[in-house]
Amino acid sequence: MKIQKAFSAVCAFVMSAALLPRVLPAPELSEVSAAESGPVSYYGQLQTSGNKIIGSSYNEPVQVKGMSFFWSNWQGQYWNSGTVDRMVEEFKCEILRCSLGVDDQGSIYSGGDVGALRSVMDAAIAKDIYVIVDWHSHGAHNNTNAAKSFFSEIARDYGKYDNVIFELYNEPTQVSWSTVKGYAEQVIPEIRKYSDNLIIVGTPTWSQDVDAAANDPINDSNVAYVLHFYAGTHGGELRGKGDAALSKNAAVFVSEWGTVNADGDGAVNVGSTEEWLSWMDSNKLSWCNWAISSKAEGSSIFGGDGSSLTDAGNYLKKILNAHAENAVWRTVPKSGTDPDPQTTTPTPQTQNNERLSLSGSGSAVLEAENYSSMSGVELEDCTQGGKNVGYIEAGDWMSYSISVPQTMKYELTLDAASESGGGQIAFSCGGNTLGTLDIPSTGGWQNWQQFKVTLELPAGVSELKLNAQQGGFNVDKITFTAVGGQASGGDINRDGSVSAADAVMLCKYLIGNEQLNDEQAKQADLDSNQVINVIDLTLLKRMLLRN
Ligand code: IDC
């Protein structure tokens, strides 16, 4: 929680910054008991940052580990919440990959699988783990339209959850990267209509040619390239491709790997697997192992009875349980400090028990969660960092303590998001309505857009109240910009420079001992708000101190 203030020093002598008691919202019961706390609440949305993947609430590389479901059309018996719970509780998975079976022509094998996919995704979200929606095909580019409509629908319904990762194409086979890239460039915009979550893209030769992708990356800020390996078949040569991609600053994601041979069968190769695991650990690559299946082949973690563990199953459980012992989100208490990278900007920060002091010029930012009191709203994690105010319904309100040097107009820019639109805010001070603002749909609860309204705020200290006439929107922050903008002028005596002589002239004018002509008055109105007063004198002093 923070208030960013600009130009607060200017107001300091105009108005003493008295402290107001802070009214904290009582935690809602539902907030406490609703979801389990897992890696997603801790790390936030996954985001590429150079060749690393970081969390929106955790500004360092994130590595999560888990299992991949098998083709939905062939092992659908595992596609349910019971399996998700077992994978999280017994195996300690932090991520699950849903391999929706799609044939070589790019069509879903069994349309009914999408329902099962949704229940698995719902269960994963309830468990607070990451979940990959994998278009599990070897020929997806043969039917780009099918992928477009599928991902559009899933992104619309699930793209607002930080848990969700979109995998566009399991494994292109012998096709060029430019073909795969062309396909991805058509599918990505369908997802981006609704979600800025991580998108991972398969690479040619059964998702081995990450180096080719890194040489010709996709123009999107949150895309990683997929590397698959099978320890019984692949070794250092394939890791070399991974290293090459990383050295080109591409982010790599191992959405599928096996302990066995590339055909999915054979014995567990412990030696090779360990080499791969340490390579992935040293590069902080997240991974999912193939596969949650009881098919009679070496990669299946379940035996013929459908529930006992195979060699591969026991081995994976051991690896994942060992990782859990040191996983950051389980072992390091989350600090109270805001991990938002914006906190590193030089903008002065104040605590939220201080009111927002506006000056006659420049901008100041108020975090929406920083209300002095409210009714009916709740806070939630914001993809822009920190928290936002959400669950706003008609009749709910937040109020903010502000101080304004003189009655003047400010442009308020709200960072707001709304899934379905129809929101309306009435702004008031001391019972007087100052203006209203409509919040249309932004396409998602975390799709932030800026909406502006200009209000004349009364001089002095007051409570600015945002009343939801209609609900259905979230607010992250409010930027106040004095209409008239930055200070300019100052050369009141028109001698070609701004000096102490100008300040003397302005002082004389303010005490009535000086007349100003139009040109001089324009120079004296430093905040260009058509009023010449003590604020302009302050701005002028500031200018002199800087010079
Ligand atoms: C394999 C299954 C196998 C099935 C085959 C169908 O293990 O039982 O008959 O798919 O194509 C991959 C693929 C993954 C493969 C796996 C093992 O992504 O679908 O599963 N593999 O061959 N890439 C490399 C290996």
Which of 429, 432, 436 shows the shortest CA–CA distance to 399? 429
Residue 19 pLDDT: 32
User: If 0-12 CB within 10 Å is exposed, 13-18 middle and 19+ buried, where does residue 204 land?
Assistant: buried
Residue 45 pLDDT: 96
Distance CA(450)–CA(468), nearest Å, equals 17
With a 6 Å cutoff on the Cβ, whether 294 touches ligand 1 is no
- Asked if omega into 291 is within 30° of 0 (cis), the reply is yes
- Domain spans of the chain, in order of start: 1-34+488-547, 38-330, 360-482
How crowded is the C-beta side of 370, counted as CA atoms within 13 Å?
24
| Atom number in ligand 1 closest to CA 290 | 16
With a 6 Å cutoff on the Cβ, whether 196 touches ligand 1 is no
Which of 167, 257, 261, 263 to probe ligand 1 with, by most ligand atoms within 8 A of CB?
263
Chain-centroid distance, C-alpha 71: 30
The encoded tokens of residue 140 equal 């997806």
| Atom number in ligand 1 closest to CA 71 | 19
List the pLDDT tens digit at each of the 547 positions of the chain: 333 333 333 333 233 333 333 333 333 323 322 346 899 999 999 999 999 999 999 989 999 999 999 999 999 999 999 999 999 999 999 999 999 999 999 999 999 999 999 999 999 999 999 999 999 999 999 999 999 999 999 999 999 999 999 999 999 999 999 999 999 999 999 999 999 999 999 999 999 999 999 999 999 999 999 999 999 999 999 999 999 999 999 999 999 999 999 999 999 999 999 999 999 999 999 999 999 999 999 999 999 999 999 999 999 999 999 999 999 999 888 764 443 433 332 222 233 546 788 877 778 899 999 888 888 899 999 999 999 999 999 999 999 888 887 778 889 999 999 999 999 999 998 888 899 999 999 999 999 999 999 999 887 778 899 999 999 999 999 999 888 645 678 899 988 888 899 999 999 999 888 899 988 999 998 877 788 888 888 888 877 876 5
Residue 331 pLDDT: 87
Residue 487 pLDDT: 63
Distance CA(90)–CA(300), nearest Å, equals 16
DSSP 8-class letter at 219 = S
Alpha carbon of 205 to ligand 1 centroid (Å): 13
Read off the pTM: 0.61
Residue 355 pLDDT: 76
| 246 Cβ neighbours under 8 A, 6+ residues apart | 51, 214, 252, 283
Which of 113, 151, 132, 158 shows the shortest CA–CA distance to 67? 132
Alpha carbon of 445 to ligand 1 centroid (Å): 37
171 is annotated as an active-site residue = yes
Residue nearest atom 16 of ligand 1, based on CA coordinates: 264
CATH topology for the 38-330 domain: TIM Barrel (3.20.20)
Residue 539 pLDDT: 82
Distance CA(188)–CA(196), nearest Å, equals 10
Distance CA(4)–CA(479), nearest Å, equals 9
CATH superfamily, with its number, for domain 360-482: Galactose-binding domain-like (2.60.120.260)
Q: CA-based angle 468:473:474, to the nearest 5?
A: 105
Residue 82 pLDDT: 97
DSSP 8-class letter at 302 = B
Measured torsion, CA atoms of residues 39, 43, 47, 50, in degrees rounded to the nearest 10: -110
With a 6 Å cutoff on the Cβ, whether 299 touches ligand 1 is yes
Distance CA(174)–CA(433), nearest Å, equals 65
Matching residue, tokens 């309306």: 424
Distances (CA, A) of 320 to 82, 90, 234, 326, 425: 19, 9, 21, 10, 48
Residue 484 pLDDT: 61
Alpha carbon of 73 to ligand 1 centroid (Å): 13
- Report the b/e string of 383-405 with b at 16+ CB within 10 A: bbbbbbbbbbeeebbbbbbbbbb
Which of 295, 299, 301, 310 to probe ligand 1 with, by most ligand atoms within 8 A of CB?
299
Residue 363 pLDDT: 83
Which of 256, 289, 301 to probe ligand 1 with, by most ligand atoms within 8 A of CB?
256
Alpha carbon of 295 to ligand 1 centroid (Å): 11
Collapsed DSSP state (helix, strand, coil) of residue 370: coil
Element (H, E) at 451: strand 449-457
Distance CA(89)–CA(78), nearest Å, equals 15
User: If 0-12 CB within 10 Å is exposed, 13-18 middle and 19+ buried, where does residue 14 land?
Assistant: middle
Residue 225 pLDDT: 98
- Do 514 and 505 touch, CB atoms closer than 8 A? yes
Residue 36 pLDDT: 67
Residue nearest atom 4 of ligand 1, based on CA coordinates: 264
Determine which one of 94, 190, 256, 367 is catalytic.
Answer: 256
Matching residue, tokens 């904290």: 24
Residue nearest atom 1 of ligand 1, based on CA coordinates: 264
